[in-house]
């Protein structure tokens, strides 16, 4: 359970940093202009992304094993793009959350940046003794 909560916090931080620096990736709060609502929005999106990564992505990874082998692992960027697209679809149904201006290349680019930022956040957290694994 602690691992999942740590993943939620790491995802929320990575989503916030990615939305700050990437113009094709925006996050709409459920109450725009209120700081606590922004924080809760990022935490909710982090929870949703952690749930997608925990429940759905293992199935997608198993089904696409040949593409992982064929591309020497580069397919993982596309799989992360699928997870980000699913997060966008789920959050749009709520009326707030992640909005991507374009689908294909921008989603893949945002997923790549999100993966790098998430790795950096977990690296810094590991320096302080906090780990999601």
Q: Is the pLDDT of residue 19 over 70?
A: yes
Q: Which distant-in-sequence residues (6+ apart) come within 8 Å of 125 by Cβ?
A: 6, 10, 131, 132
pLDDT at 111: 87
Q: Is the pLDDT of residue 5 over 80?
A: yes
Among 33-37, 61-65, 100-104, the range scoring the smallest mean pLDDT is 100-104
Comparing 125 with 41, the larger pLDDT belongs to 41
Exposed, middle or buried: residue 47 (CB in 10 Å: 0-12, 13-18, 19+)?
middle
Residue 125: which pLDDT band, with cuts at 50, 70 and 90? confident
Distance CA 84, CA 82 (A): 5
pLDDT at 55: 94
pLDDT at 32: 82
Please compute the mean of the pLDDT values over residues 64-71 and round it to a whole number. Answer: 95
């Amino acid at each position: 359970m602690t691992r999942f909560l740590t993943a939620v916090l790491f995802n929320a931080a990575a989503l916030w940093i990615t939305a700050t620096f990437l113009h094709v990736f925006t996050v709409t709060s459920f109450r725009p202009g209120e700081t606590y609502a922004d924080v809760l929005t990022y935490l909710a999106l982090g929870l949703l992304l952690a749930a997608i990564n925990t429940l759905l992505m293992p199935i997608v990874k198993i089904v696409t094993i040949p593409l992982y082998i064929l591309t020497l692992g580069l397919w993982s960027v596309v799989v992360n793009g699928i997870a980000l697209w699913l997060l966008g679809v789920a959050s749009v149904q709520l009326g707030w959350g992640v909005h991507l201006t374009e689908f294909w290349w921008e989603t893949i680019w945002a997923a790549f940046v999100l993966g790098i930022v998430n790795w950096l956040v977990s690296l810094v957290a590991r320096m302080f003794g906090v780990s999601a694994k």
